[in-house]
Amino acid sequence: MFVFPYVVNLFVNAHVSTKRLQAYFSGPEVEGSFLDGDHGSNGSTGDDRKVSVSVRRRRSNDRTSSKVDELEIESSALMGSHGNGELKYGSMRKTASSLPSNVAIRITNGSYTWDPDSTAPVIRNLNVDIPAGQLTVVIGTVGSGKSSMLQAIMGEMTTLSGNIEIREDSKTAFSPQKAWLVNASLKENILFGTQNDKSKYQKVIEACALGPDIAMLPGGDHTEIGEKGINLSGGQKQRVSVARTMYSDRDIVILDDPLSALDMHVGAHLFENGILKILKKQKRTIILVTHQLQYLPEANKIIVMKDGQIALQGDPEEIAKADPSLCADWQRALHVFSESEAELSGAESEAVHEERLSLKKQIAKLQQSAGLSTESMQQEITGAEADKGRLIVKEDQETGSVDSRIYFYYFKSMNYWVTLGILVTVAARAGTQIGSNFLLADWSEISVTTNDTEEILEQTNYYITYYSVLSFMTILMRIFSIVFITVGAYLAAKSLHINMLDNIVSIPMRFFDTTPSGRFMNRLSFDTQMIDQRIIQSIRMFINTLSMVLSSLVVNIVVNIYFILFVIPTVITFIVLLAYYLTTSRELQRCESVTRSPIFAHFSETLGGLPTIRAFQDERRFFKIAQDRILVNNRVFLYLVTAQRWMAIRLDYLGALIVTVSSLSVLIGAFYLGIDASYVGLAISYSLEIALYLNRNVRAAADIELQMNAVERVQYYIEVPTEDYSGTEPPEDWPTEGKIEVDNIHVRYSEELATVLKGISLSVPSQAKIGICGRTGSGKSSFTLALFRMIQTCQGRIVIDGIDIATVPLLSLRQRLSIIPQDAFLFTGTIRNNLDPTSGKADPDLWQALGIAQLKDVVHQLEGGLDYEVSEGGDNFSVGQRQLFCLARAFLRNSKIVIMDEATASIDHETDRILQDAVADIFQDRTVLTIAHRVGTILDSDTILTLRDGAVIEFDSPSVLLERDDSVFASLVKAGK
């Protein structure tokens, strides 16, 4: 009965977990994941016979089964070579064997939705043939269904009607609108599990204009780019993602708006040298979503999306006849683009030319000194050089015994008074239990010492009374001790979790750049669960068994004082054995915790890139990576369990020896020392318990030491240095004007890194509109981060409306500024909560903001309107719509300073033009800093700030810069009008 409560608890947990897993496994699956037995990035083996399938949703009357989509296989399914009755599906998402040779993909009467339980289509009535070996360009306004059509082709959406047929033996590659990269080197992201072909790799690098970027990275293409590519800019991440599709041997390449994050020069280079000269020249089927209309004449087919339907489709000539206004737009873009290309091909602007020439000279010197070619420089980076590019730091791991301060920290979190209450109640319970047992022993001697019936009756009443009192006190102390332990465990777990969470949200951003999210997940989940549940169980077990062991020892020593001669060496043996065991098991527990973090990190990374992984049909490789990491963790866990069994066997032997010696000692004492038989029985009964409870006590002590590793790991994150939130509160209406003075600032991401902004000085008048431009890595985003004090300013200062921002508390500073980020993010919750997290705005204000952001009609059509539920990360909205929501949010904050970091990069030109007019109107009394690759969006700015290598090279009005022949801004305008 001692372990019965623990067993019940385990059964309850197992039941809940099983139900949760059952619900997950019974949920709808992605329709397109039909995999053959041996597919992967390196091709498939075995029987390659295909199955032609059409996937439909079919409802059942049963509510539970209605959540599961059933598959109707319309043609014969071959059993394959497995011979076990399992269907072996083809390697493509949906395959067809009867498509014409000039058609790669055919969509027939297709209607699709994201929500498996919804019958409202997101895109509908699609009927289109994607030509094989040619370039198909998809255009349309924000939210028109461009990306959704691509996702439907890849099988990521739920089919309401129709079907998609893809040529047999076809393989897909996919570059998403928001680049997805793995936490590995730049080169590994491009190869993506395939063999390294140096010549092919070099061509892809050149086509994607990654050569200069690689040359600037500390470890070349072996540089670790960090989780989600944090070490790269948005444009660099996008080009690496596109390079991955080009390097692959896939014959269907799907590119979701890859040019939006690139400036005009780089975008033109990638399109010309990558999409046309590599992909199209190799007769691959290309589906390109873009807002860059100047590229439309190169398309073999154009698809115009509008309101979730195909409005127009055909070759450029057919589209020109059907929509003359669209034709005029792309002709105008093409004309300016062609002029710019001709000018740039003859002579680039002096600034750009000098930059590239300087870079080439530096590379040439390195080659000469090292005797290496450009290719060998990129391909044969030494181990030492590769280490320079390492971003992710090794996870912390203590060695040796757990420091006593960790125990004190845990009991401090528990509350010292609660800890004292535990000790007092447990000691009182042990004392009353011993007293009641001795009382029973004395009571049993009455009949031996006297034959007087009246005296026996009187003594019996006495013993019953006192035994009842002692028993009641034992039960009461037992209840109190459980209450104290439970309350203490709750307080400790709550305190540790809150302190860790509070500290994590205050850690500098650089820490997140160098720490995979899996480590945070590990501590916030498994380590927290260890503190919540397992440590307290071990402490309860340790205290209970310790009281029983001490009780047994006290009873045996009282009965036979000579028993102490055996107790001393026995206790020493136990201590030595425990220390020997802990030396190994403690480190095994730490290794088990450390090897668990990569599992969480890989799982999180895989979830973020599932569409890309499935498009490349690389599930098995990622499954193998996960499996290998789990096996490493399980191997360490097995060693830990083996060590525990080793300890348990030796404790059992020692327990048996204690029982034997104790029994012999009291029996000898009964014969030679005249010990009463009742005390002999009492001592033997307690000695029988010693073996059991001493075994459990040592195990519990060892478990506490091992489980304190979780407290140790949590405390590490509690003590990580945070940003300095102290300072002098500014006036409530600060900033009132929005004037910015930048005085010789030098900025770096961490103390060990070089400065990224070098001596920038400038003055921004109030209500000014500043356009910021420059090539990738020039310091544009770093400048805006410096305004928010996200990165360190090691020299100089930034003054806003007469107040040095270094003296303003961080929370106040960031609340007074607004930013519309390049990677727009929406939080899980309602649209209302995303627009107005503090619930300080009325509904008319929210609708006004949505109207300005061109989202009013979109939200009106949603079920619930402002109360429509936003999924995690805003995945139920397009990237462009997310950017517009962030714009509406910034408008509602009414900040005097607004930073727009590529805020309209994923928006079509028409919507962009409307937004620019709206921004000029609603932000006319605010200071606006706008970072843009599409320089047309900053032409109306009061002043242009051009950066290069972290320094200011131009800061003047657009009209002045456009008149200068050597202006970098002027060259960008000519390329991007």
Contact indicator for 846, 834 with CB cutoff of 8 Å: no
Q: Nearest Cα to 916, choosing from 905, 904, 927?
A: 904
Q: How many angstroms separate the CA atoms of 479 and 755, rounded?
A: 62
Residue 67 lies in a domain: no
Residue 543, pLDDT above cutoff 50: yes
pLDDT tens sequence across 911-941: 677 777 777 777 888 899 988 776 777 888 8
Question: What are the contacts of 343-347 at 24+ separation with CB within 8 A?
Answer: 343/974, 344/265, 344/971, 344/974, 344/975
* pLDDT value of residue 271: 93
Residue with the bigger pLDDT between 658 and 32: it is 658
- Structural tokens at position 396: 């912390």
Q: How many angstroms separate the CA atoms of 849 and 834, rounded?
A: 12
Residue 175, pLDDT above cutoff 90: yes
At residue 285's C-alpha, the angle toward residues 282 and 289, to 5°, is 120
Are residue 745 and residue 690 in the same domain, yes or no? no
Q: Nearest Cα to 222, choosing from 182, 189, 244, 246?
A: 189
> Which one-letter amino acid corresponds to residue 571?
V
Residue 5 lies in a domain: no
Residue at which a domain ends, from 687, 718, 749: 718
Are residue 447 and residue 596 in the same domain, yes or no? yes
- Structural tokens at position 812: 């106040």
Residue 39, pLDDT above cutoff 50: no
- Give the pLDDT band (50/70/90) at residue 878: confident
Are residue 343 and residue 435 in the same domain, yes or no? no
Contact indicator for 908, 934 with CB cutoff of 8 Å: no
Residue 106 lies in a domain: no
Are residue 758 and residue 905 in the same domain, yes or no? yes
Are residue 770 and residue 650 in the same domain, yes or no? no
Residue 210 lies in a domain: yes
Contacts of 298 by beta carbon, 8 Å cutoff, 6+ apart: 135, 271, 276
Are residue 701 and residue 787 in the same domain, yes or no? no
Residue 745 lies in a domain: yes
What is the H or E stretch that residue 396 is in?
A: none
Q: How many angstroms separate the CA atoms of 497 and 293, rounded?
A: 52
Find the CATH number of the domain harbouring 676. 1.20.1560.10
Contacts of 248 by beta carbon, 8 Å cutoff, 6+ apart: 173, 192, 194, 616
Residue 804, pLDDT above cutoff 90: yes
Q: How many angstroms separate the CA atoms of 945 and 957, rounded?
A: 9
pLDDT tens sequence across 441-452: 677 666 555 666
Mean pLDDT of 83-92: 34
Are residue 710 and residue 754 in the same domain, yes or no? no
pLDDT tens sequence across 113-148: 888 777 889 999 999 999 999 999 999 888 888 999
Are residue 351 and residue 435 in the same domain, yes or no? no
Residue 260, pLDDT above cutoff 50: yes
Residue 650 lies in a domain: yes
Are residue 759 and residue 868 in the same domain, yes or no? yes
Domain count for the chain: 3
pLDDT tens sequence across 565-623: 887 888 888 888 888 888 888 888 888 888 888 898 888 889 889 999 999 989 999 99
Residue 976, pLDDT above cutoff 70: no
For residue 860, give its domain range: 740-976
Mean pLDDT of 89-106: 66
Mean pLDDT of 41-46: 41
Residue 786, pLDDT above cutoff 80: yes
pLDDT tens sequence across 305-360: 988 999 889 988 888 888 777 666 655 555 545 444 444 444 344 444 444 444 44
How far is residue 675 from each of residues 254, 441, 561, measured CA to CA in Å?
91, 12, 11
Residue 56 lies in a domain: no
Report the chain's terminal Cα–Cα distance, integer Å: 81
* Percent of the chain whose predicted confidence (pLDDT) is above 70: 81
* pLDDT value of residue 329: 63
Are residue 418 and residue 316 in the same domain, yes or no? no
* pLDDT value of residue 970: 82
* pLDDT value of residue 585: 86
Residue at which a domain ends, from 649, 684, 718: 718
Q: How many angstroms separate the CA atoms of 706 and 530, rounded?
A: 10
Q: Nearest Cα to 243, choosing from 215, 263, 264, 269?
A: 269
Q: Nearest Cα to 704, choosing from 543, 864, 497, 560?
A: 543
Please tell me what DSSP assigns to residue 301: E
- Give the pLDDT band (50/70/90) at residue 513: confident
Backbone angles phi, psi at 757, to 5 degrees: -120, 130
- Structural tokens at position 344: 């740039």
* pLDDT value of residue 364: 39
Residue at which a domain ends, from 299, 334, 358: 358
Residue 110, pLDDT above cutoff 80: yes
Helix ranges (DSSP H) in 923-967: 958-963
Residue with tokens 């047999």: 168
pLDDT tens sequence across 701-745: 888 888 888 898 899 889 888 888 888 899 988 999 999 999 999
Q: Which of 376-380, 412-416, 812-816, 880-884 shows the lowest mean pLDDT across its residues?
A: 376-380
pTM above 0.85?
no
How far is residue 740 from each of residues 538, 728, 926, measured CA to CA in Å?
58, 19, 12
pLDDT tens sequence across 879-906: 888 888 888 888 888 889 999 887 666 6
Radius of gyration of the chain (CA): 36
Q: How many angstroms separate the CA atoms of 61 and 54, rounded?
A: 22
Residue with tokens 């000098």: 354
3-state secondary structure of 365: helix
Four-CA torsion 709, 714, 718, 721, nearest 10 degrees:
80
Are residue 409 and residue 312 in the same domain, yes or no? no
Q: Nearest Cα to 891, choosing from 861, 850, 859, 858?
A: 850
Q: Mean pLDDT across the chain, nearest whole number?
A: 79
CB atoms within 10 A of CB 618: 20
Q: Nearest Cα to 322, choosing from 312, 332, 330, 331?
A: 312
Q: Nearest Cα to 747, choosing from 703, 805, 704?
A: 805
Residue 695 lies in a domain: yes
pLDDT tens sequence across 242-252: 999 999 999 99
Contacts of 823 by beta carbon, 8 Å cutoff, 6+ apart: 178, 234
Backbone dihedral region for residue 400 (phi beyond 0: left; psi -120 to 50: alpha; all else: beta): left
Distance of CA 628 to the CA centre of its chain: 20
Q: Which of 461-470, 557-566, 640-649, 967-976 shows the lowest mean pLDDT across its residues?
A: 967-976
Q: Which of 370-379, 765-774, 838-847 shows the lowest mean pLDDT across its residues?
A: 370-379
pLDDT tens sequence across 353-381: 444 444 444 433 433 443 434 344 344 44
Helix ranges (DSSP H) in 505-609: 509-514, 517-522, 528-529, 535-559, 564-608
pLDDT tens sequence across 392-411: 555 555 555 778 888 888 98
Are residue 790 and residue 856 in the same domain, yes or no? yes
Q: Where are the beta strands (DSSP E) in 85-241?
A: 95-96, 103-113, 123-131, 135-140, 158-167, 172-175
* pLDDT value of residue 263: 76
* pLDDT value of residue 149: 94
CB atoms within 10 A of CB 826: 22
What is the H or E stretch that residue 751 is in?
A: none
Q: In what order do the strands lie in the sheet with 309-314?
A: 172-175, 252-256, 285-289, 135-140, 301-306, 309-314
Residue 44, pLDDT above cutoff 60: no
pLDDT tens sequence across 639-683: 989 998 898 888 888 888 878 887 787 777 777 776 777 777 777
Find the CATH number of the domain harbouring 341. 3.40.50.300
Contact indicator for 516, 230 with CB cutoff of 8 Å: no
How far is residue 231 from each of residues 75, 220, 237, 391, 514, measured CA to CA in Å?
49, 13, 9, 8, 9
What is the H or E stretch that residue 799 is in?
A: strand 792-800
Q: How many angstroms separate the CA atoms of 735 and 800, rounded?
A: 7
Residue 627, pLDDT above cutoff 90: yes
Mean pLDDT of 792-806: 91
What is the H or E stretch that residue 237 is in?
A: helix 234-247
Q: How many angstroms separate the CA atoms of 963 and 974, rounded?
A: 12
